[in-house]
Structures are given as C-alpha cells and as structure tokens.
Amino acid sequence: MKHIRNLALLLLVLGSAAAAQEGSGLLPAQFAGWQKVLPSQVSREAAAAEPVHAAVLREFGFTDFEAATYTRGERQLEVRAARFADTTGAYGAFTFYQQPQMQAETIGDQARSNGVRVLFYRGSVLVEAKLDRLTAMSAADLRRLAAALPQPGPNAARAPHLLNYLPAEALDRNSGRYIVGPAGLAAVEAPLPAAVVDFGRNPEVALGSYQTRQGSATLMLIAYPTPQIAAERLRAVAGYRPPAEGTPGDGMAFLAKRTGPLVALVAGEVSPAEAKSLLDQVNYDAEVTWDERVYSARDNIGNLVMGVFTLIGVLLLFTLVVGISFGGLRILAKRFFPDRVFDRSQDVEIIQLNLRD
C-alpha cells in the first residue's frame, strides 16, 4: 500500500512538471503546424539563457527563459525565447545580439536573419529561431510564432528611440547598440568607461560604428534625465583621456559635445574635422507626447441633452423673429404704400359662381 501511494505521488509530480512545461506561457504549444516537443527547458536564471552575458540580460530586466524544439513532419525547428520586464529590455537585447551580416526581416517588431538563424523581438520577448532549412514559408511561419507570443498590453511602452539620433550616413549596418548598464557597456568596448558615464544617474547609451575616408570611428550617445545632468557629465567626459595607442590630434579623435540632455562623443581614427562633422549631425529635438484622454464637456450625456434643447430654443426664437419681421414689414408696406406692394386690386381676381343662373 505504501508503494502505491509513493507511485501515485511520483505520477502527480511528473504530471505537474509536464503541465508546467506545457503551460509556461512563453512559447506556444503549436503554431502553423509546428508542435512543441516536451519537455522544454524553462528557467528564471539569466545564466541558463546566456551563460556568457548573463549580467547584460539582467541589466535589460530579464525575467524568464524557455528553449524548445518544434517538429512538423520530418522537419525540426529550435526556438530560444527570453522575456524581459518591458519592451525596452527586449529591444536592447535585440540590438546587443544582432550581427553586421544579418539582413532585415519583417517578423515581430524588428527582425534580422543570417541564413537559417533568425533573431526577432515582439513586445517584451526576444526570440532566436534556428531552422533546419529555409523555405518560401519560413518567414510566414515565424510571423505566426511572433503572433502567438505573449502580446504587449495597451499601455506597454514603445521601444526607445535613442538610436534614431545616430546619423545614418556612413553608419555600419547593424552596428547600433542600446545599453543601460555597465556590463553591457563593457561588452561592446565603448570609448568611455562606466565610471565616466555614471549609471547612477540612470542614463541610456547608444553606440554606432562609422567608416569615413580616414578610418573608423565610434559615435557614442548618452541620454541623461535632464540637461543639467548632461552638462555636468560633459565636463567629466571632456576631462577623460582614453588609454589609446595614439593621442588626439595624431590621427585619433576624441571630441564631445552636449545637445539638450544628450552627450555625444566621437572617438576613433579620424581627424578632428571629421569628428566635428559627425557631431554636428547630432541635435536633440524635444518631443512632447500626451497619452491620456482629455475629457471635454461633450463627454457628458447631460451636457449633450442640454445642448440639443438649447439648439431647439435658438431655432424657435429665430423662426419667431423672422415671422414677426415679415409680418411687420407687410403691415408697414400696406400703410405707407397702399395698393402698391401687397393686395393690389389689379392683381386680384375673384372667381364668381353664377348660382342664380
């Protein structure tokens, strides 16, 4: 009897584990004919998703991870998905993992592909898919997968637009990186250390690589919460001297400026003139958005009813005024111009019926 109870308990535990795997809420059980092979790998540890850059994922707000294999007939598809606290985290991780040789795709919010490997994000979920082979329907299948992922709510934040301030001319393809912490900054070999950026001030960082006539350069943008903080950090950036092989002025540039809450820095093997030309293309443009509904008097049904009755009263008053005016005009015309304007005798014809005959 004891063995039966132990067996029942074991079956209950295994059944609960299988149900947890199937209902993890990150990757769907099926899409476009693809069936998930259970059990899948589920974890809330960033190291399980990315052992090398686990600290970077945690900076982006990593919450959980799932890796699964899908089959459809004899075909196989491997999918790894990481969920973050918001869209900003998924977007930042997407820029961190994109490679220069990847091509843009229309899957999810943004996507890149390199042969059978496809990287995309949808809302707060970043997905890496590895196909066994490419077909004409591969992109359509992955779009179905993106649609089956947990969707962002109506109030979900949009992806950051800091990378939009990177000038497009001479920018290396897929070189834009969005960073929010010191681990990510160290991983991309930025021209400034974390101590100078001061992540205690909650900055956002964007980096892009450029190829000019003289050589390569890195443009680094640091967005601080206020222009005052940016002005303070600009002085720290200006006082920093990178441990480079050359010195600024000997084929090496290290030039910075502030525009609004942005601190822009160009560092690399370019002349100061080219560095200044690149910096001149970075100009902060303040945007004010209002995403709350502004209520007006028309939203009140009582005000609507009162408006209707007011309109009716105005129309009645207008009709009365017009009627009195026309009647008064007729009376005055008959008094001062008798038999000339109204009721002229020559225009009046009386039809008589000779009933006596």
| Ranges of each domain in the chain | 18-148, 162-279, 297-347
Q: What does the DSSP 8-state code read for residue 181?
A: S
Which burial class, exposed, middle or buried, applies to 77 when counting CB atoms under 10 A from its CB (0-12, 13-18, 19+)? Answer: buried
The pLDDT assigned to 10 comes to 37
User: Which residue's entry shows tokens 């690589």?
Assistant: 209
Could you tell me how many residues make up the chain? 357
Q: What is the DSSP string of 93-162?
A: HHHHH--TT-EEE-SSSEEEEETTEEEEEETTEEEEEEESS--TTHHHHHHHHHHHSPPPPTTPPPPP-G
Identify each DSSP E strand in the chain by its residue range.
30-31, 34-43, 62-72, 75-84, 103-105, 110-114, 117-122, 125-131, 177-179, 204-211, 216-223, 253-259, 262-268
CA atoms of 37 and 70, how far apart (whole Å): 6
Q: Are strands 177-179 and 103-105 parallel, antiparallel or unpaired?
A: unpaired
For residue range 32-85, list pLDDT tens digits in order.
999 999 999 999 999 999 999 999 999 999 999 999 999 999 999 999 999 999
Right CATH number for 162-279 from 2.60.40, 3.40.1000, 3.40.50, 3.30.360?
3.40.1000
User: Which residue's entry shows tokens 């843009």?
Assistant: 104
State residue 4 phi and psi, 5-degree precision: -65, -40
Q: Which residues of the chain have pLDDT under 70?
A: 1-25, 244-251, 287-300, 339-353, 356-357
Answer yes or no: are the C-beta atoms of 63 and 39 closer than 8 Å. Answer: no
What dotted CATH number matches 18-148? Answer: 3.40.1000
CA atoms of 284 and 260, how far apart (whole Å): 6
The pLDDT assigned to 326 comes to 82
For residue range 303-314, list pLDDT tens digits in order.
788 888 899 999
CA atoms of 112 and 176, how far apart (whole Å): 13
- Cβ neighbors of 1 (< 8 A, separation 6 or more) are none
The pLDDT assigned to 102 comes to 96
**Is the dihedral angle over the CA atoms 88, 105, 126, 96 positive or is it negative?**
negative
The pLDDT assigned to 82 comes to 97
